[in-house]
Structure 1
Amino acid sequence: MSIELRHLRCFLAVADTLSVTRAAERLHLTQPAASRTLRQLEDALGVRLVDRSTHHLALTPDGVAFRDQAALAVAAFDRALAYGHHAGWPLRLGHAWSAAGADTTTLLRRWHEEHPDTPLQLLRIDDRTAGLARGDVDVALLRGEVRAPGLVTEQLTTEPRVAGLPADDPLAARPALCLADLAPRTLAVNTVSGTTTLDLWPPEARPSSTLTIGNTDDWIAAITGARAVGVTTSATAGMHPHPAMAYVPLTDAPPVPVVIAWRDAPGHPRIPDLVALAREVMG
């Protein structure tokens, strides 16, 4: 049996919902049809993608590894079909938070002026590679170390770290802080796309507890609600000002590298132009 696009779409729906029933509803299939399609894909690949032995469906290690490859294939197919419906071929620039920081507006306006035939779409995607590994975007602005295979990265700049605090917190009135000042507090940690972990502190002086969040909006809500404090970069202070939030420089925290990344494969022909412009604007 040959693998068809419907097999990949079915698997991705199951991987996203972790439910054959919900995947079938999304794809407007019956549950038996979705199960059969998934089984056909596994038989054709010769590997088990989904573990059905528990009450809660889960992806196997092979399923996790195959998910990004399937998403890339589906995204490429959909993009090829959509190409004929656009006056220009949009270039999709992903980011997980803060885009290009203070240079965001300049980058977008310069691109529009210099490449009016190619729309630049700025997309926030809450993912470690801002959707790049899955094929949701063509290029991404990322912060911190990027380990995803198959990506090419170039460092553009670095950003100093700052503490995020409730505006009425006693520490918010200080001109600067050190990491030890935050250690007695609960730390908001973005485990999806953030760059702050407990490893930023010495083992003997780490924050007493953490609050796990998944995106910048939830990070800000946790801090302004006085549930936690946080560590981010200066770009967040510029891109996400909030009347109930204070950003205070950290004197002993290392800066965070900002990189532009793209896939090591044929892609949008304007990627080199965007990389060159980002280098000029942000470098």
Structure 2
Amino acid sequence: MSIELRHFRCFLAIAETLSITRAAERLHLTQPAVSRTLRQLEQELGIRLVDRSTHHLALTPDGRAFRDRARIAVSAFDRALATAHLTEWPLRLGHAWSAAGTDTTALLRRWREEHPETPLELLRIDDRTAGLARGDVDAALLRGEVRAPGLITEQLATEPRVAGLPADDPLAGRTALALSELTDRTIALNTVSGITTLDLWPAGARPASSITIGNTDDWIAAITGGRAVGVTTSATAEMHPHPAMAYVPLTDAPPVPVVIAWRDGPGHPRIPDLIALARDVIGKATGSERARAR
């Protein structure tokens, strides 16, 4: 037996629903057919993908690792079919928030001038790697340390951190703040795509209260609504001005690296051109540093 795309789709349905029954409903198959397809895939790979020893299905460590590779393979196949009738092959650039800051427009316009034959699509995806790890985009502009396996990153610049406050907050009129001045506040933390955690504060001096947010829009809403304050980078202030929000520089918070990331392996043929342009537009004043994410 050889592995076919249907094996990948079946496994992904199981991985996403953690249920043979729900996977069968999604795929419009019978439960025995789904179980049989999963068993064939495991036998062909020689590894166990799903733990069936409890009342609830769970992916094994091998299953979690294979899930990411299967997503990339299925995404590439679907995209190949979707673009088969097109003479142009769009290059998808993901970002989790704020793209390239104030350099975003220059990056997009320069690309269109220099590579008119290849559309550059900028996509915001609320995910730590902006969809890159699962194959939704070809490259991504990310902030902070990126540890997803199979990705290569190159640092383009750094951005200073700022505090996000309601515009009528007593601290909003300050020219600068220290992290310690936020410890008695509730902190809004974007745990899906953000980089700020309570570890930013010294041990023993961390805020006692926080709320969990899923994206930049909700982060801004929580702050402007008076529920919390937050920490972000200067790019957010540049890309998301709001009449009810104040952004105040933080004097003792480390800057945040801005990186461009791509998958280690075959990809869109224009990725090297995108990296070169990003270096020129975003990183011309800071240089670059290349590192493999482990």
- Secondary structure in structure 2 of the residue aligned to 1:16: helix
Separation in 2, partners of 1:226, 1:21: 44
The AA in structure 2 aligned to 1:248 is: V
- Secondary structure in structure 1 of the residue aligned to 2:247: strand
Partner of 1:256: 256
Partner of 1:135: 135
Moved more, 260-269 or 92-101: 260-269
Separation in 2, partners of 1:203, 1:93: 37
Once the two structures are TM-superposed, the CA of residue 97 in structure 1 deviates from its matched residue by 0.8
Partner of 1:186: 186
- Secondary structure in structure 2 of the residue aligned to 1:63: helix
Partner of 2:229: 229
Once the two structures are TM-superposed, the CA of residue 27 in structure 1 deviates from its matched residue by 2.3
Once the two structures are TM-superposed, the CA of residue 55 in structure 1 deviates from its matched residue by 4.5
Separation in 2, partners of 1:30, 1:179: 56
Separation in 2, partners of 1:139, 1:19: 32
Q: Which runs of 5+ in 1 are unaligned?
A: none
**TM value normalised by structure 2:** 0.90
Once the two structures are TM-superposed, the CA of residue 222 in structure 1 deviates from its matched residue by 2.1
Separation in 2, partners of 1:57, 1:209: 34
Alignment of 1:75-224 (within 5 A): 75-224=75-224
Partner of 1:63: 63
Separation in 2, partners of 1:242, 1:54: 49
The AA in structure 2 aligned to 1:2 is: S
Partner of 2:290: none
Q: Which runs of 5+ in 2 are unaligned?
A: 284-294
Once the two structures are TM-superposed, the CA of residue 277 in structure 1 deviates from its matched residue by 0.9
- Secondary structure in structure 2 of the residue aligned to 1:276: helix
Once the two structures are TM-superposed, the CA of residue 34 in structure 1 deviates from its matched residue by 2.5
RMSD: 1.7
Once the two structures are TM-superposed, the CA of residue 42 in structure 1 deviates from its matched residue by 2.3
Separation in 2, partners of 1:18, 1:215: 25
Return the structure number with greater helix share. 1
Once the two structures are TM-superposed, the CA of residue 39 in structure 1 deviates from its matched residue by 2.8
Task: Please list the CA deviations of residues 207-234 of structure 1 after superposition, one character each: whole Å capped at 9, or x if unmatched.
Answer: 1122122221222222222222111001
Separation in 2, partners of 1:55, 1:144: 38
Separation in 2, partners of 1:16, 1:215: 21
Separation in 2, partners of 1:242, 1:59: 43
Separation in 2, partners of 1:35, 1:268: 35
The AA in structure 1 aligned to 2:220 is: I
The AA in structure 2 aligned to 1:154 is: E
Alignment of 1:40-59 (within 5 A): 40-59=40-59
Separation in 2, partners of 1:20, 1:185: 45
Task: Please list the CA deviations of residues 156-208 of structure 1 after superposition, one character each: whole Å capped at 9, or x if unmatched.
Answer: 11111011122222222222111001111121222222111122111011111
Separation in 2, partners of 1:239, 1:62: 40
Once the two structures are TM-superposed, the CA of residue 151 in structure 1 deviates from its matched residue by 1.7
Partner of 1:269: 269
Task: Please list the CA deviations of residues 55-111 of structure 1 after superposition, one character each: whole Å capped at 9, or x if unmatched.
Answer: 543322221111111111112222332332212011010111111111111111111
Moved more, 205-214 or 86-95: 205-214
Once the two structures are TM-superposed, the CA of residue 54 in structure 1 deviates from its matched residue by 4.1
Separation in 2, partners of 1:244, 1:22: 44
Partner of 1:246: 246
The AA in structure 1 aligned to 2:64 is: V
Q: How many residues are aligned here? A: 283
Separation in 1, partners of 2:243, 2:134: 36
- Secondary structure in structure 2 of the residue aligned to 1:156: strand
The AA in structure 2 aligned to 1:124 is: R
The AA in structure 2 aligned to 1:37 is: T
Once the two structures are TM-superposed, the CA of residue 257 in structure 1 deviates from its matched residue by 0.4
